[in-house]
Structures are given as C-alpha cells and as structure tokens.
A = this chain, B = another copy of it.
Amino acid sequence: MSLRKRYAVAIVGATGAVGTEMLRLLEQRRFPVKSVRLLASSRSEGKRLRIDGRLCKVETLSRHSFHGIDLVLFSAGASRSLEFAPEAVKQGALVVDNSSAFRMDPTVPLVVPEVNAHTLRTHPGIIANPNCSTIILTVALKPLHDAAGLRRVGVATYQSVSGAGSKAMHQLWRESRAIARRWSHYQPSSVVRDVENCVQGPLSGNTILPQRIAYNLIPQIDVFLSEGDTKGYTKEEWKMREESRKILELPALRVSATCVRVPIYLAHSEAVSAEFERPILAEEARKRLRNAPGVRVIDDPTRGRYPMPIEAGGCDEVFVGRIRQDPDDPKTLHLWIVGDNLRKGAATNALQIAELFAKTNRFA
C-alpha cells in the first residue's frame, strides 16, 4: 500500500484469537492506518494491546464506538455483529464481518478475494468474511472449477482448536499438561497399558469444546441441526455447503462435509474429493493451482513433500498437495488442503477485502 489516504480502523473482538491476528496483520501488511480503536466486551475493559510498539487501551464496545471510524473489522461472534454492525454502517463505516451473521443475506457479498472479488461492486456497507474452512476450500477449488466445471465436493476436515477461539487453545494446552503429568515415564514394555491408564477416558475440568480434545477427535464443530435435509449435520458442515455455493456462484453444487476437531493448535486441513463436468488430469490440476492466486502447491510426496499444519500455520497461502486421480473416475480428483485458519481463514481474508476498498478508495 503506498496510497496517501489513511483510514481510522476499529477492531471488534480485539482480544480474541482472530482479533489479535488482525492487529498483527494490519502492521505486517502495512495497511494504511490512521488510527486503530480496540473494542471488546466489558470483560476486557482496561486491557492493553501493543500496536506499532505502543500499548493501546481496549475499550468496551457500545453503539457510540464507531464515531469517525472508516473501517470496522468484526470478530466477536454473530450476536455482536447483528447488534452493532448496522449501527457502524449508519455512522458511515464500512464493515467487514467475520461472523456468520450476514453471510447468507442475499444483499451482502460473501467474499474470498481470489474467488469472487467482483461481487464487492454492490453492498449494503457490510461485507461478510466466510467460514474459515470454506475460505480454504474455495481458494483451492476455484481454479479447478474454471478448468473443468465443478459438480460435486466431498470433504472431511481436520480443524485445529484455534478455530474455536483462544479458550479452546487453552483447553488443549491444559489437557496436554494434565496427561503429561500422569504419564511422565515411558516404559516400552507397558506402553499400551500406560496409554489406557493415563491417556484414554475422560479428564476432569471444564471444557469450552464439547468434549475433551487432547489425544482425541471430536466429530462435532458448532451445534447440530435437525430440520429437513440438515438433519444430522452440524452447522459448520452446513455452512461449508451453503457458503461454498454462494462464493463459487454454483447454487446447486453438491457439497457434503464431515467436520472434525483435531488436537492441534493452528491450521485447518481438508481431505477433498472433487467431481467435475469434464475429465481433468492431476498434472493439469497441479499446473492450474501453481498459477492460481493465494495457492502454494506442495506436491512431491515421494520426497515427503505435502502440506502439513506445522508448515502452513503462520502463512497466508492455502497449501495444496496429494493431488491425484480417482482410480475409477477420470472426472474426479482427490486433494489434501491445509491453511492457517486464523490468517487466510479469517484475518488475512478480511484485510484483503479491506485492501481492495483502500485501493479504489471506495470506503463509505
């Protein structure tokens, strides 16, 4: 960014996992900031966060928080966004909302810049940032859709605890420590017994996730739905379907997802099966993805090169690998996708949207 104009920015949910990442990225991406206002619930009142080396106070979010603000980045849950985003718009700010509150509103653009930036042309002052898993998925699928016409997507996710916020990160840390204390000596002769005694079964203590997560898998993200077609799906799984359809502008796209929380801190991974209208070779897919914006192809498996959370965490690109043909169907490809859920899955994508506005100076 080398433009003259600078913007007054507010971050709602500034103390959360995504909010702190937004704050760091405003600096790292050199967003043209005039001022930053940090907003959170009254529980964070008085906290201070570092911006450009200076400590700044966190203020309590209210209807009066948006005076003189050009851009508000919301990341404090759907109910906060529903209550305060319209107020921010009324006071003249552009809102980029990371919650699910407005995503399926037909007047609100739901934007992944690499995929559907053109939908930003008309908007009601609010732009919705998609679900983290959906952003990562659509960045990888768009170039393949352009090549061969996407017909059906099956996806199983491996989602890190940071997707459920900083309290879920603390849960994994606390539970890992409790198990490490129980199982402090490793005896090869009794390892399976030690696992059964020290690792398996319930742990005491409150959880923010619906179950214990350390050395476990939870096949539940968000709440379960029960009406009609949605029966048996979680809200996260249904979001991946509905949001992918809107972002890719394929309202009848067949999407089925299984969303699973895994005991890792950062980055979401996805095992994807994609069926196309026309046959597409793995080599063609690899070439398309190499030339696609926001994608890093890591696909040399015999040399141990494929996407992994420990490498993708902290990066802005979506990592794609394990690209291979279905053995029975030349129109189906399988892929393994990994992306940092706090960055491209949330903060990076929101800032990219704001940057598109800054470039054209179309704020308010």
Contacts and interface: CB of A to CB of B under 8 A. Distances in A.
A318 to B, nearest CB: 15
A321 B266 contact: no
- In this complex, the interface size class of chain A, counting residues with CB under 8 Å from chain B, is 35 or more
A87 interface: no
Interface in A145-178: 152, 154, 156, 158, 162, 166, 169-170, 173-174, 176-177
A212 interface: yes
A17 B169 CA distance: 31
Nearest to A186: B173
Nearest to A265: B195
Contacts of A233: 324, 327
Interface in A221-237: 224, 226, 229-234
Given A216-B309, A309-B217, A170 B186 contact: yes
Contact of A191 (B170, B211, B313): B170
Contact of A263 (B173, B234, B264): B264
A328 B180 contact: no
A306 B241 contact: no
A301 interface: yes
Interface stretch (A92-100, A101-109, A133-141, A198-206): A198-206
Nearest to A321: B219
19 contacts: A152-B328, A154-B273, A156-B156, A162-B192, A166-B188, A169-B195, A196-B313, A199-B266, A201-B311, A217-B308, A219-B307, A219-B321, A220-B304, A226-B302, A229-B327, A232-B324, A254-B328, A262-B263, A271-B271
A117 interface: no
Contact of A282 (B217, B232, B254): B232
- Count of chain copies: 2
B302 A273 contact: no
A256 interface: yes
A122 interface: no
B173 A176 contact: no
B260 A158 contact: yes
Nearest to A263: B263
Contacts of A256: 273, 326-328, 332, 334
Most buried by B among A174, A196, A307: A196
A165 to B, nearest CB: 10
Interface string A295-327: 000000110101111110110000001111111
A310 B264 contact: no
Contacts of A355: none
Contacts of A17: 191-192
Contacts of A231: 282, 324-325
A301 B260 contact: no
Given A232-B322, A322-B232, A336-B219, A260 B254 contact: no
A187 B313 CA distance: 19
Given A158-B260, A199-B310, A216-B310, 8 more contacts: A17-B192, A154-B154, A154-B273, A156-B258, A166-B192, A210-B304, A219-B336, A260-B336
A131 interface: no
